Structure 1
Amino acid sequence: MPLLAAVLLAQSPSSAALTHAGGHPVPTITAVRVEHPPTLDGRLDDPAWQLAHPARGFLETDPDEGKSPSESTTVMILYDDAAIYVGARLYDAEPSKISRRLGRRDDDTQSDVFYVDFDSYHDHRTAFEFAVNPAGVKLDDLCSNDFFIGDRSWDPVWDVATAIDSLGWVVEMRIPFSQLRFPQVRDQVWGVNFFRWVFRKNQFSQWAFKRKTETGYASRFGHLLGLHDIPAPRRLEVLPYTLGRGTYDNPGAGNPFDHGHSYFGGAGLDLKYGLTSNLTLDAAVNPDFGQVESDPAFVNLTTVEQFLQERRPFFVEGASIFTFGGTGPYIQFGNTPQYFYTRRVGRAPSLEPEAPTDGFMDLPTHTTILGAAKLTGKTPSGWSVGVLDAVTAREQASFAAGGSVWHEDVEPLTNYVVARVRREVGGHTGYGFLATAVDRRDNSTPLDSLRSGGYVGAADFYHRWANNEYAIYASVGATYVTGDTLALRLAQEQSTRYYQRPDAAYLRQRYDPRRTSLSGLGADLSVNKEGGNANWGFALSTTSPGFEVNDLGFQRRTDRAAGDLFVGYRWTKPGRMFRQASIGFDPLAFAWNYGGERIQLGRDVNVFGQLLNYWSGNFFVYQQQQGVDDRLTRGGPAALAPAQWSAGATITSDTRQPVNGTLNAQYFH
Structure 2
Amino acid sequence: MHRLTFTLLGFLCFIISEAQEKRKSIQAYRIETPPKIDGILNDPVWESIEPAKDFFFFEPVNDGSLERNTHKTEVKMAYDDNAVYFAAYMYDNDSSKILRQFTQRDDIDAQADLFAIAINTLDDGLNETRFFITSAGTIGDARANGNNEDFSYNVVFKANMSLDEKGWYAEFKIPYNALRFPETAIQNWSINFHRKIKHLNEQYSWSYVDRKVGQITQYNGLITGLAHINPPIRLLLFPFTQGAVTTFGGETKTDFSAGMDVKYGLSDNFTLDATLIPDFGQTTFDNIILNLGPFEQELNENRQFFIEGTEMFAKGNLFYSRRIGGAPTRRNQVVNNLDANEVILENPINAKLLNAVKVSGRTKDNLGIGVFNAITQETAAIIKDTVTNEVRKFTTESLANYNIFVLDQQFNKNSSISVVNTSVLRSGGFRDANVSALLFDLSNKSNSYRLEGGVRMSQVRIPNDLKSGFRSNLEFSKTKGQFRWFIGHYLANKTYDSNDMGIMFENNFNNVYSELSYEIFEPTKTFNKYRLSFWGRHGRLLDPNVATGDSFGFDTFFIKPSRFAFGAGADYYGEKDDYFEPRVDGRFITYNKNAGINGFVSSDYRQKFAYDIRSEARTWFEEDQDFFEISILPRYRFSDRFFMLWETSMAWHNNDFGYVGHDEAHIYIGQRDIQSVENALNASYNFDPYKAINIKFRNFWSVANYGDQQFFILNNDGTRTPYNYDIENNNPNTNFNIWNIDLKFNWRFAPGSEAVILYRHAIFNNDRFSDLSYGNSLQNLFKQNNQHTLSLRLVYFIDINNINDSFKG
Give the TM-score normalised by the residue count of structure 1: 0.84
Q: CA deviation at 1:360?
A: 4.4
Q: Does 1:414 align with 2:400?
A: yes
Provide the residue aligned with 2:727 in structure 1.
Answer: none
| Structure 1: 5+ residue stretches without partners | 1-19, 252-259, 326-337, 444-449, 486-515
Tell me the C-alpha RMSD between the 2 structures: 2.3
Work out whether 1:216 is the aligned partner of 2:215.
Answer: yes
Give the 5 Å matches for 1:268-287.
268-287=259-278
Asked if 1:312 corresponds to 2:311, the answer is no
- The verdict on how the C-alpha distance between 1:205 and 1:484 changes in structure 2, with shifts beyond 3 A counting, is same
Question: What is the aligned length?
Answer: 591
* Offset at residue 649 of structure 1 (A): 2.5
Q: Aligned to 2:150, what secondary structure does the other structure show?
A: coil
| 3-state SS, counterpart of residue 324 of structure 1 | helix
SS at match of 2:142: strand
With over 3 angstroms needed to count, the CA separation of the structure-2 counterparts of 1:587 and 1:415, relative to structure 1, is: closer
2:191 counterpart letter in structure 1: V
Q: 1:599 to 1:233 in 2, by over 3 A?
A: farther
| Partner Cα separation in structure 2 for residue 583 and residue 23 of structure 1 | 34
The 2-side partners of 1:142 and 1:47 are apart by 32
Q: Secondary structure at the match of 2:45?
A: helix
The whole-number CA distance in structure 1 between the counterparts of 2:350 and 2:603 is: 45
Q: Which residue of 2 aligns with 1:624?
A: 573
Report how far residue 441 of structure 1 moved. Answer: 0.5
Distance 1:579 1:261, change over 3 A: closer
Change (3 A) 1:200 1:459: same
**1:30 positional shift:** 1.3
Structure 1 residue identity aligned to 2:607: Q
Question: In structure 2, what is the Cα distance between the partners aligned to 1:635 and 1:134?
Answer: 58
Distance 1:269 1:42 in 2: 32
Give yes or no for contact 1:565–1:589 (8 Å, CA) kept in 2.
Answer: no
Deviation at 1:243, TM superposition (A): 5.0
Amino acid at match of 2:36: T
- The answer to whether the Cα contact below 8 Å between 1:131 and 1:138 also exists between their aligned partners in 2 is yes
Task: Report if the CA contact (8 A) 2:511-2:537 is conserved.
Answer: no
Structure 2 CA distance for aligned equivalents of residues 522 and 562 of structure 1: 12
Quote the residue 1:354 is aligned against.
335
Partners of 1:191 and 1:218 within 8 A in 2 = no
Residue 142 of structure 1 deviates from its aligned partner by: 0.8
User: In structure 2, what is the equivalent of residue 162 of structure 1?
Assistant: 161
* Cα pair distance change 1:115/1:267, threshold 3 Å: closer
Partner of 1:16: none
**Change over 3 Å in CA distance of 1:358–1:426 after alignment to 2:** closer
Q: CA deviation at 1:593?
A: 4.2
Partner of 1:488: none
CA contact (8 A) 1:233 1:277 kept: no
Q: Displacement, 1:249?
A: 3.5
Which stretch shifts more, 204-213 or 233-242? 233-242
The AA in structure 2 aligned to 1:354 is V
2:67 to 47, 61, 69: 69
Find the aligned partners of 2:241 and 2:205 in 1 and give their Cα distance: 47
- Please state whether the residue corresponding to 1:314 is helix, strand or coil: helix
Question: Deviation string for 1:303-325 (max 9, x for gaps)?
Answer: 31222222333333331111324
Residue 193 of structure 2 is matched in structure 1 by 194
Q: Cα deviations across residues 596-620 of structure 1 (Å, max 9, x unaligned)?
A: 3322311111222233443332121
Conservation of the 8 A alpha-carbon contact between 2:82 and 2:231 = no
Pick aligned residue for 1:425 from 396, 411, 414:
411
Q: 1:400 aligns with which of 377, 384, 388?
A: 384
Contact 1:163 1:169 in 2 (8 A): yes
**Is 1:456 the counterpart of 2:435 in the alignment?**
yes
Task: Tell me whether 1:387 sits opposite 2:385 in the alignment.
Answer: no
Question: Are 2:288 and 1:289 aligned?
Answer: no
1:40/1:173 contact within 8 Å kept: yes
**2-structure distance, mates of 1:608, 1:551:** 38
State how far apart, in whole Å, the 2-side matches of 1:132 and 1:175 are.
Answer: 13
Q: Is the 8 A contact 1:189 1:226 kept in 2?
A: no
Give the conservation status (yes or no) of the 8 Å contact 1:184–1:232: no
Alignment of 1:583-662 (within 5 A): 583-635=532-584, 637-662=587-612
Are 2:575 and 2:591, in contact at CA under 8 Å, matched by a contact in 1?
A: yes
Correspondence for 2:801: none
Whole-angstrom CA distance in 1 between matches of 2:365 and 2:263: 23
Partner of 2:34: 37
**Which residue identity does 2:555 align to in structure 1?**
N
SS at match of 1:49: helix
1:462/1:178 Cα in 2 relative to 1: closer, same or farther (>3 Å)?
same
Range with bigger deviation, 205-214 or 229-238: 229-238
Corresponding residue to 2:24 among 24, 27, 34: 27
1:148-169 Cα deviation digits (max 9, x unpaired): x221111111111111210111
Q: CA–CA distance in 1 between the matches of 2:521 and 2:421? A: 42
Q: Residue 573 of structure 1: which of 504, 512, 522 is its match?
A: 522
Instruction: Please state how far the C-alpha of 1:560 moved relative to its aligned partner.
Output: 0.5
Instruction: Decide whether aligned partners of structure 1 residues 646 and 461 sit closer, same or farther in structure 2, where only a CA change above 3 A counts.
Output: same
Q: Which amino acid aligns with 1:526?
A: E
Partner in structure 1 of residue 236 of structure 2: 237
- Deviation track 1:434-465 (CA, whole Å, cap 9, x = no partner) reads 1111111016xxxxxx42x1011111112211
Q: Any idea what the Cα deviations from partners look like across 1:204-262, whole Å, max 9, x if unmatched?
A: 111111122112122211111211111244111234555554433444xxxxxxxx233
State the shift of 1:423 in Å: 0.7
Residues 600 and 232 (structure 1), Cα distance of their counterparts in 2 relative to 1, 3 Å cut? farther
Taking a change above 3 Å as real, the CA distance of residues 587 and 654 of structure 1, as seen in their structure-2 partners, is same
Picking from 437, 455, 476, the partner of 1:476 is 455
Cα distance in 2 for residues equivalent to 1:612 and 1:378 = 42
State the 1:628 CA deviation. Answer: 1.0
Match of 1:48 among 38, 42, 45: 45
Which residue matches 1:551? 500
Match of 2:785 in 1: none
Task: Tell me the equivalent position of 1:248.
Answer: 247
* Counterparts of 2:305 and 2:273, CA distance in 1: 7
Retained in 2: the 8 A contact 1:286–1:368? no
2:362 match: 378
The letter for the 2-side match of 1:465 is N
Distance 1:115 1:322 in 2: 26
Q: CA deviation at 1:300?
A: 2.6
1:104 aligned partner: 104
- Asked if the contact 2:54–2:67 (Cα under 8 Å) also holds between the matched residues in 1, the reply is no
Amino acid paired to 2:325: G
- Matched residues in 2 for 1:591 and 1:92: separation? 58
C-alpha displacement at 1:661, in angstroms?
Answer: 2.7
- Alpha-carbon deviation of 1:483? 0.6
**Could you say which structure has the higher strand fraction?**
2
* Structure 2 CA distance for partners of 1:265 and 1:365, relative to 1, 3 Å: farther
**Does the Cα contact within 8 Å between 1:232 and 1:276 map onto a contact in 2?**
no
Q: What displacement does 1:98 show?
A: 0.6
Change (3 A) 1:315 1:653: closer
Listed one character per residue, the Cα deviations across residues 5-30 of structure 1 (whole Å, up to 9, x for unaligned) are xxxxxxxxxxxxxxx97886421111
Is 1:154–1:316's contact at 8 Å kept on the other side of the alignment? yes
Q: Is the 8 A contact 1:201 1:656 kept in 2?
A: no
- How far apart are residue 267 of structure 1 and its match? 4.6
- Sort the Cα spacing of 1:396 and 1:613 in 2 relative to 1 into closer, same or farther, 3 A: closer
Contact 1:153–1:311 under 8 Å retained in 2? no
In the alignment, the residues of structure 2 paired with residue 419 and residue 304 of structure 1 have an alpha-carbon distance, to the nearest angstrom, of: 27
Give the aligned residue type for 1:384.
G
The Cα of 1:470 is off from its aligned counterpart by: 0.9
User: Can you list the C-alpha shifts for 1:455-512, whole angstroms capped at 9, x where unaligned?
Assistant: 1111111221141111111210101111136xxxxxxxxxxxxxxxxxxxxxxxxxxx
Between the aligned partners of 1:361 and 1:240, the Cα distance in structure 2 is: 35
Supply the distance in 2 between the matched residues of 1:474 and 1:547 (Cα, whole angstroms): 17
Query: Which of 279, 293, 312 is residue 321 of structure 1 equivalent to?
Result: 312
Residue of structure 2 equivalent to 1:341: 320
What secondary structure does 1:228 align onto? coil
Paired letter, 1:481: V
Are residues 1:130 and 2:121 paired? no
Residue in structure 2 matched with residue 207 of structure 1 by the alignment? 206
Structure 1 contact 59–69 (Cα < 8 Å) conserved: yes
TM-aligned CA distance change 1:23 to 1:238, over 3 Å = closer
Using the aligned pairs only, state the percent identity.
27
